[in-house]
Structure 1
């Protein structure tokens, strides 16, 4: 006989059935999935415990080599590749550069081989990389470095089912970079990232570059004064008294950006040199302007050179920038020396002009004396040889000589030209004249030391004046009777002039000629220097 619950149990029974539809059934449906996820993580934990659990793995012992044999164990092969994230600074003064990289190592460790029956675990990730053995790599040219721990330590360690280990870490390094600045700033620099084993020799550990993409560089890598032209992977195994140590390196080839130095160094130096040439167009007597311009450009050039050398290390060889700044300084200093030469020539020209004015004044005095009677020279118009001192015509008489405090000359012919400076006019012969083939000359040297008379032939410069009695035979038209003195002729020495000499003769003073010559020679020599400089350092030396 079937017994049914009483009426008071009906409500409770129906409530249980109702809630079971919303609570029990969904819980039963989700039960297999929850247990599956738990089993997956449990399987991962079991694998980790089995390979690196307590007593299962000793991280002090390196892995066995790939070519292990009965005679011995081969070295562990570590494959290296790096990812170049940034290069923040390249210092010529300190010869160093800063770089941020992701450093990766891969090797095989047979002790870490595991089996996953479900084949769902591709690799195991460790948050504590110190649980397993790692190569003792160090950077041989490192000066400073640090790890990145924000927000968590930037370290990755993966273990594959075949025992393969991937170790990746982010590093910031300051590495030394010895530079050859002989061609600075037209140079290329080779900087290295060197990685070697510190304690393991090549019998235990060998570093090798990864076969594919050993070095990766971030796209759009920009540097302020350099450009990364290329990179080359190399090996740098070294031998010391403790053994041979494996080493790999990557050579980063940096090309210096010349546009920066063209704007900051070369163009300002060219402008300073050109500004120093402005003094060639100033008046030689503008001494304050030319001195201030020359000294200012010289000091500015010296300041420019000091600023350049302050950013470079002291080296024992001549750099390309030293050649440029040295020659520019030489041209600026040469412009200042040119002013000193012009100033000296200007003062010399002034003294010469003063002497010339004195000579012209003396010449005028001579003309006045010659036109006024000639008593200052002791000339007499008579033919006797007594008190007057005689004339040219009486040179054979006893009266010829110095008389009356003057210089006696024989009496001139009876008739002379009215104007002693006019062109020569025919004159009648004198009874006491020498033969026609002989001529007597009296040279008047218009210099401050006085007058000098000579019978030599004239061979001096064009600034000499000749007072010459011209002795002629009978002429059809005699000269005026009131001309009592000899004729004075101005002669110029014959000389040949080329076009350059005639062009320079257009400038009256030597100071002006020096300025004009400097206007041509300085730009010409500076242009020639530029041609030689750029051909040598850019074309020939590459």
Structure 2
């Protein structure tokens, strides 16, 4: 029978559904995942869409299993007003003609098949990037008919075209350079509420999970090595300023550059992303190592300054002890007997006495100690504010002396503390974000 001579019954009304509760079966065969645009939050797919329903008003001539109708016949018969909720664009594929067919089977089932490239809008959250798992739900429903008129259900029309051998569970997956895309048909009954009532929907779940291996090798491992390299500065003699400074500054700038590159190439998020938290923390660890070296340099400078001051005080004390005592005239004593043979009469005979009690007391109480060069000469108040300030200054002075010690006490302490803190941070980081990613994937 020629498809162009097929006659549609004259009583046929294309504006009325075939039955009161017509079931529309939807099948999607994904041929290829063309790409995932994270910035636009879009997924592009090459699919074969098949929609079928039963229409008892149409019939096929006897002894014919089916008949292919011209594509233009879709305007003459009833077709469901299929609405894909997350659809952005849809383009029917064509080579010599459009890849679309309209077929009527002997059991009065109408089937429409379309080969198209569709772009789906998917709401994505990149806070857990690159540990994030994106779940996108695509709903196929009607925008005009409610559940009383039309129901949508899934029908497996063909096996998925993915990786792995035929019949394996991995055929629902597609591997991209950064993603593993999984398709799952949700057989439960979904309802969309809008317009004049409830609308039935058939849902297709798309799951996007990242290949974490590339991020571990490109970002996490190099940044961890930079932090470990910064610990080598604690083994360098503080007096070798160029070598130690170049090591720390170069490592710090490398981490800053890596953070800028990752932030530029990663998708935007409302908060700091997971990988950004890691890179910022690594940068802070290297920055603290640089600050530790500044403290060591300040302590060494302070220690040398105090050594010179201590030598000056010792020389002053030695000079004071070796100098002759000053003369002091006692005006209470006079010579009452005049000197004979002189015309002047009596003269005063001065009595010389050594009185430098203040200087002696100052020298006796002057103590020179390396651990507290300034604070020992201050009055040690009891419990007043001046005493508290003095104790605070003394503690600060001892800390600076500890930092500037020639045997590298602060560097030894930092060489133990920094690795312990970084290991603790690593455990807390991965435990927190992996558990959060698992919880978020289950909620979706």
Task: Output the TM-score relative to the length of structure 1.
Answer: 0.61
1:126 paired residue number? 69
1:453 paired residue number? 364
The answer on 1:319 being equivalent to 2:273 is yes
Between the aligned partners of 1:142 and 1:240, the Cα distance in structure 2 is: 17
Between the aligned partners of 2:196 and 2:242, the Cα distance in structure 1 is: 74
Between the aligned partners of 1:154 and 1:524, the Cα distance in structure 2 is: 63
Between the aligned partners of 1:222 and 1:176, the Cα distance in structure 2 is: 20
Pairwise mapping of residues 187-266 of structure 1 onto structure 2 (< 5 A)?
A: 187-210=132-155, 213=156, 216-220=159-163, 221-229=174-182, 231-233=184-186, 234-266=188-220
Pairwise mapping of residues 61-140 of structure 1 onto structure 2 (< 5 A)?
A: 61-65=15-19, 74-116=20-62, 119=63, 121-131=64-74, 132-140=77-85
Question: Would you say how many aligned residue pairs link Structure 1 and Structure 2?
Answer: 377
Equivalent of 1:376 in 314, 318, 324: 324
Between the aligned partners of 1:218 and 1:86, the Cα distance in structure 2 is: 8
2:102 paired residue number? 157
Between the aligned partners of 1:217 and 1:261, the Cα distance in structure 2 is: 29
Give the 3-state SS of the residue equivalent to 2:175 in structure 1. coil
For the structure 1 residues 271 and 463, does the alpha-carbon distance in structure 2 shift closer, same or farther, using more than 3 Å as the test? closer
Contact 1:82 1:216 in 2 (8 A): no
Between the aligned partners of 2:406 and 2:11, the Cα distance in structure 1 is: 98
Contact 1:200 1:245 in 2 (8 A): yes
Give the 3-state SS of the residue equivalent to 1:195 in structure 2. strand
Offset at residue 250 of structure 1 (A): 0.9
Cα deviation digits, residues 174-202 of structure 1 (max 9, x gap): 11111222322112110122222233333
Equivalent of 2:125 in 151, 160, 180: 180
Between the aligned partners of 1:375 and 1:362, the Cα distance in structure 2 is: 11
Give the 3-state SS of the residue equivalent to 2:261 in structure 1. helix
Give the 3-state SS of the residue equivalent to 1:64 in structure 2. coil
Give the 3-state SS of the residue equivalent to 1:171 in structure 2. strand
Which has the bigger relative contact order, CA under 8 A and spacing at least 6?
A: 2
Contact 2:132 2:437 in 1 (8 A): no
Structure 1 stretch 317-326 or stretch 159-168: which is displaced more? 317-326
Contact 1:50 1:56 in 2 (8 A): no
Offset at residue 462 of structure 1 (A): 8.0
The answer on 1:529 being equivalent to 2:425 is yes
2:441 paired residue number? none
Contact 2:299 2:404 in 1 (8 A): no
Between the aligned partners of 2:352 and 2:59, the Cα distance in structure 1 is: 141
Between the aligned partners of 1:58 and 1:177, the Cα distance in structure 2 is: 40
Offset at residue 56 of structure 1 (A): 4.2
CA RMSD after TM alignment:
3.7
Unmatched 5+ stretches in structure 2: 164-173, 328-350, 373-400, 439-444
Offset at residue 264 of structure 1 (A): 1.9
For the structure 1 residues 323 and 510, does the alpha-carbon distance in structure 2 shift closer, same or farther, using more than 3 Å as the test? farther
For the structure 1 residues 175 and 184, does the alpha-carbon distance in structure 2 shift closer, same or farther, using more than 3 Å as the test? same
Task: Output the TM-score relative to the length of structure 2.
Answer: 0.73
For the structure 1 residues 299 and 463, does the alpha-carbon distance in structure 2 shift closer, same or farther, using more than 3 Å as the test? closer
For the structure 1 residues 63 and 316, does the alpha-carbon distance in structure 2 shift closer, same or farther, using more than 3 Å as the test? closer
For the structure 1 residues 173 and 463, does the alpha-carbon distance in structure 2 shift closer, same or farther, using more than 3 Å as the test? closer
